[in-house]
């Protein structure tokens, strides 16, 4: 039997990040990946001959320079498009609102008062997000823990607030769990921007902008986003290949097409894994970078776990709410406001529109007017044939448990989104060469994520920090000796940022030391 120090299950960005770091510290690391390519939900696939389209995730907003350097990603070929990714807010019966570079002000053509309100709001949100950031880039503090690390983080956060003054502290404590809708309303920002922020706050989470706590989605975006939103050269597949190459360079061994059947636990300790092929591979440490529900439910099994934690894991709300529509287009469509570069299109005209689209999803129904974001590939993008383009669309509020069934739902949703796109880019439907609809059940099946949730489990306050994924497994440690977990289902959550992989690797190194 072959043996490694650590076996990493799943070559998503978090798994590869952890493997890279562990290998750099001299560990013998094996990464086992079910599919043939690295990246998990953050890769690209060939939708039609010559079209490589982002499967699920379509931008690399959260990956910061520190991580890129720590993993040697630049050396492995990770490059970003030089131009910032503009956001074009599509508005019915009006000209679009264009944000040339993420949220960065100023916004062309906006009145001074609106401009100021926008900047003021961003200022306070960024300040508040920065406080939370202290706790995002490391293992979440455990309740009753009195470690040096926690004290240091707490102190840093406290100092930050102290420096900002009384009113900022009070404002933080008031706003931190507010509905996004109330925040934007109080700030009196332009209603188009209010729509955009409501959408950004709630995308991928089963809340509406009027739900209390929905502002957290925005904090998370701000806290994990460093500088400008970025698009990798060569698409997501190229970025994930860079993760893979960097991991190989660090010394980790990767095996693709090797799904794991189970994690072997003996006497309360992990001893290795058994692959679907029946091969047993030994390791004293296993890091599972897949969905925690899949890890505990399928790979470990409840028979070696206590009932309380099994109960907790089963209460994780795993049902996804986002459908991915991928369109291969023979011609690059024109959208007012979009230039030649890659462009983010958002349809979320107002807070009410976002909230209204959320309502039916609570009952397993599709919204009449779904809100969505889409990435339109740059003119000349090498991942599509010359003159062609792709549109990668994430549609919000499309529930896993669709009452009328996804068979009809896929068709209906594609139709309703295409109708909307036609409004802004007449003729786009005719340009479609190939299309696919990945509803949450499809994501579940293709990526082995129970529920097909972006975050592997609802990203809401009751499942954050020391409750993510559940109390008792929140510090990347499972309640089984030698078993660790990372991935979107763990702190701090989803988004292509590698943070949980980094944190988990540190925990493993700390534990073996």
Partner 1 sequence: MNKPYDVIVVGAGHNGLVNACYLQRSGLNVLVVEKNDWIGGAAVSRELTPGILYSNCSYVCSLFRPEIMRDLELAKHGLQIIAYEGGAVFKQDGDFLASYRNHHAHRREFARHAPRDGEAYERYARDVTRQCRFIQPLLMRTAPDPASLKPRDLGEMLFLLKKFNELTAREMADTIRFWTMSISDFLDEYFEAEVIKAYLAISGIIGTALGPMSPGTAYVLLHHYMGEVDGNVGAWGYARGGMGAITRALSSSFLASGGTILTDAQVSKVLVRNGRTTGVVLENGDEHLATTVVSNADVKRTFLKLVEEPELPGDFVRQVRNFKMRGSSGKVNIALDSLPEFPALPKGSPCIRGDMHFTDTVERMERGYDDWKAGTWSADPFLDMMIPTTIDPTMAPPGQHFMSCFVQYCPPKIRNADWTDADRDAFGQTVINQIADYSPGFKDRIIHMEVRTPRELEAEVGLTEGNIFQGELTFDQLLFNRPIPGYAQYRSPIAGLYICGSSTHPGGGVMGAPGRNAAIEIMRDLKRNASHASPAHEIL
Partner 2 sequence: MSMKAAGAASEFWRNPQWKSPFHDRIEALMTERHWYDWAGYAAPEIIDDAELEYFAIRSTAALFDISPMVKYSISGPDAEQFLNHLTLRDVSKLKAGRVQYTAWCDDDGQVLDDGTLFRFDDSTFRLCCQERHLPWLMDTAFDYDVTVREETDEIAGLALQGPTSAALLRDAGIDVSGLKPFQIAVLPKSLGRGHISRTGFTGDLGYELFVDRKSAGALWDHLWQHGTLRGLRAIGYHALNIARIEAGFIVANADFVTSETALRSNRPRLPDEIGLDWMVDLTKPHFNGKRAIERSRQSKSRREVLVGLEIEGNEPAQHAIVYHAKRREVGVVTAGIWSPTAKRNIALACVDARYETGDNLWVEIYALRELRYHKLMKRARIVERPFIKLPRRTLTPPGDF
Which residues of this protein are in contact with partner 1, per CB under 8 A? 142-145, 166-167, 169-171, 173-179, 182, 186, 207, 210-214, 315, 317, 355-356, 359, 362-363, 460-463, 465-467, 471, 474
Q: Which does 301 bind (CB under 5 to 8 A by kind): partner 1, partner 2, none?
A: partner 2
Q: Which does 186 bind (CB under 5 to 8 A by kind): partner 1, partner 2, none?
A: partner 1
Q: Which does 467 bind (CB under 5 to 8 A by kind): partner 1, partner 2, none?
A: partner 1
In terms of DSSP bridges, do strands 3-9 and 97-99 run parallel, antiparallel, or are they unpaired?
unpaired
Contact 500, 491 (CB under 8 A): yes
- Count CB-CB contacts under 10 A for residue 83: 17
Question: Whose Cβ is closer to partner 1: residue 178's or residue 418's?
Answer: 178
Question: Whose Cβ is closer to partner 1: residue 203's or residue 231's?
Answer: 203
What minimum distance in Å lies between the beta carbon of 490 and partner 2? 19
Question: Whose Cβ is closer to partner 1: residue 207's or residue 263's?
Answer: 207
Structure token digits, residue 28: 């013998």
What minimum distance in Å lies between the beta carbon of 50 and partner 1? 45
Question: Whose Cβ is closer to partner 1: residue 38's or residue 469's?
Answer: 469
d(CA 231, CA 50): 19
Q: Which does 355 bind (CB under 5 to 8 A by kind): partner 2, partner 1, none?
A: partner 1
What minimum distance in Å lies between the beta carbon of 311 and partner 2? 5
- Chain-centroid distance of CA 249 in Å reads 26
What minimum distance in Å lies between the beta carbon of 292 and partner 1? 16
Using CB under 8 A, list all residues that contact partner 2. 265, 268, 301-311, 314, 472, 479
- Count CB-CB contacts under 10 A for residue 255: 14
What minimum distance in Å lies between the beta carbon of 267 and partner 2? 9
Question: Whose Cβ is closer to partner 2: residue 151's or residue 311's?
Answer: 311
Following DSSP, what letter does each residue of 197-256 receive, concatenated? HHHHHHTTSS--TTSTTTHHHHHHHHHH--SS---BTTHHHHHHHHHHHHHHHHT-EEE-
Question: Whose Cβ is closer to partner 1: residue 316's or residue 486's?
Answer: 316
Q: Which does 170 bind (CB under 5 to 8 A by kind): partner 2, partner 1, none?
A: partner 1
Mention every residue, 6+ apart, whose C-beta is less than 8 A from residue 321.
Answer: 204, 205, 206, 361, 396, 397, 398, 399, 400, 440, 453
Helix H or strand E encompassing 44? strand 44-48
What minimum distance in Å lies between the beta carbon of 103 and partner 1? 22
Burial (CB < 10 A; 0-12, 13-18, 19+), residue 510, is exposed
d(CA 238, CA 77): 8
Q: Which does 362 bind (CB under 5 to 8 A by kind): partner 2, partner 1, none?
A: partner 1
Question: Whose Cβ is closer to partner 1: residue 17's or residue 202's?
Answer: 202
Q: Which does 65 bind (CB under 5 to 8 A by kind): partner 1, partner 2, none?
A: none
Q: Which does 509 bind (CB under 5 to 8 A by kind): partner 1, partner 2, none?
A: none
Question: Whose Cβ is closer to partner 2: residue 218's or residue 309's?
Answer: 309
Please tell me the total number of residues recorded for the chain in this structure. Answer: 513
Expressed in angstroms, the distance from the first to the final Cα of the chain is: 25
Question: Whose Cβ is closer to partner 1: residue 66's or residue 403's?
Answer: 403
What minimum distance in Å lies between the beta carbon of 134 and partner 1? 17
Q: Is the dihedral of CA 106, 109, 112, 116 positive or negative?
A: negative
The CA-based dihedral angle spanning residues 221, 225, 230, 235, taken in that order and rounded to the nearest 10 degrees: -70
Tell whether omega for the bond before 55 is within 30 degrees of 0, i.e. cis: no
Question: Whose Cβ is closer to partner 1: residue 36's or residue 167's?
Answer: 167
Q: Which does 177 bind (CB under 5 to 8 A by kind): partner 1, partner 2, none?
A: partner 1
- Chain-centroid distance of CA 29 in Å reads 25
Let me know the angle formed at the C-alpha of 431 by 338 and 88, rounded to the nearest 5 degrees: 20
What minimum distance in Å lies between the beta carbon of 80 and partner 1? 36
Contact 39, 236 (CB under 8 A): yes
Q: Which does 207 bind (CB under 5 to 8 A by kind): partner 1, partner 2, none?
A: partner 1
Alpha helix segments (H runs only) across 262-306 = 292-294
Grouping H, G, I as helix, E, B as strand and the rest as coil, residue 130 is: helix
Question: Whose Cβ is closer to partner 1: residue 211's or residue 490's?
Answer: 211
What minimum distance in Å lies between the beta carbon of 322 and partner 1? 18
Question: Whose Cβ is closer to partner 2: residue 306's or residue 445's?
Answer: 306
Contact 324, 394 (CB under 8 A): yes
Q: Which does 304 bind (CB under 5 to 8 A by kind): partner 1, partner 2, none?
A: partner 2
What minimum distance in Å lies between the beta carbon of 309 and partner 2? 6
What minimum distance in Å lies between the beta carbon of 448 and partner 2? 19
What minimum distance in Å lies between the beta carbon of 172 and partner 1? 10
Structure token digits, residue 294: 């899949």
Nearest to 231 by CA among 342, 151, 113: 342
Q: Which does 306 bind (CB under 5 to 8 A by kind): partner 2, partner 1, none?
A: partner 2
Nearest to 128 by CA among 56, 50, 218, 192: 218
């Amino acid at each position: 039997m072959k043996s490694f120090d650590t076996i990493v299950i799943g070559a998503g960005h978090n798994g590869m990040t952890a493997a890279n770091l562990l290998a750099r510290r001299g560990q013998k690391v094996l990464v086992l990946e079910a599919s043939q390519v690295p990246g998990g939900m953050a890769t690209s696939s060939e939708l039609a001959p010559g079209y490589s389209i982002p499967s699920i995730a379509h931008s690399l907003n959260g990956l910061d320079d520190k991580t890129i350097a720590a993993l040697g990603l630049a050396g492995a070929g990770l490059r970003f498009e030089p131009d910032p990714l503009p956001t074009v807010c599509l508005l019915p019966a009006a000209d679009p609102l264009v944000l040339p570079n993420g949220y960065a002000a100023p916004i062309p053509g906006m009145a001074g008062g609106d401009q100021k309100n926008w900047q003021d709001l961003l200022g306070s949100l960024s300040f508040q997000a920065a406080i939370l950031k202290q706790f995002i880039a490391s293992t979440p503090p455990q309740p009753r823990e009195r470690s040096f690390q926690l004290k240091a983080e707490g102190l840093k956060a406290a100092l930050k607030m102290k420096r900002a003054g009384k009113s900022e502290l009070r404002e933080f404590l008031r706003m931190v769990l507010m509905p996004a809708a109330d925040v934007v309303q109080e700030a009196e920002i332009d209603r188009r921007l209010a729509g955009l922020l409501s959408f950004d706050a709630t995308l991928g989470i089963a809340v509406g902008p009027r739900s209390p706590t929905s502002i957290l989605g925005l904090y998370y975006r701000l806290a994990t986003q460093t500088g400008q939103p970025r698009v990798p050269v060569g698409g997501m597949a190229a970025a994930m290949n860079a993760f893979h190459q960097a991991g190989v360079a660090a010394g980790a061994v990767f095996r693709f097409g090797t799904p794991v059947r189970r994690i072997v636990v003996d006497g309360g300790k992990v001893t290795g894994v058994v692959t679907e092929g029946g091969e047993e591979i030994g390791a004293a440490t296993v890091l599972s970078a897949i969905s925690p529900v899949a890890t505990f439910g399928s790979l470990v099994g409840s028979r070696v776990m206590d009932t309380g934690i099994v109960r907790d894991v089963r209460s994780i709300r795993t049902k996804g709410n986002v459908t991915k529509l991928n369109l291969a287009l023979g011609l690059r469509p024109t959208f007012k406001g979009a230039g030649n570069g890659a462009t983010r299109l958002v349809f979320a005209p107002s807070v009410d529109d976002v909230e209204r689209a959320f309502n039916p999803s609570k009952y397993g129904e599709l919204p009449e007017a779904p809100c969505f974001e889409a990435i339109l590939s740059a003119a000349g993008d090498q991942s599509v044939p010359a003159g062609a383009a792709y549109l990668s669309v994430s549609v919000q509020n499309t529930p896993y448990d669709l009452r009328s069934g996804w068979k009809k739902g896929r068709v209906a949703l594609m139709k309703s989104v295409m109708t909307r796109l036609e409004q802004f880019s007449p003729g786009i439907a005719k340009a479609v060469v190939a299309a696919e609809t990945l509803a949450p059940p499809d994501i579940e099946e293709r990526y082995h994520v129970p529920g097909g949730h972006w975050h592997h489990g609802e990203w809401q306050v009751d499942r954050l920090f020391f409750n993510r994924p559940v109390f008792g497994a929140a510090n990347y440690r499972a309640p089984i000796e030698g078993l660790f977990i990372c991935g979107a289902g763990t702190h701090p959550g989803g988004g292509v940022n590698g943070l949980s992989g980094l944190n988990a690797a540190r925990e493993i190194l700390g534990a073996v030391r």
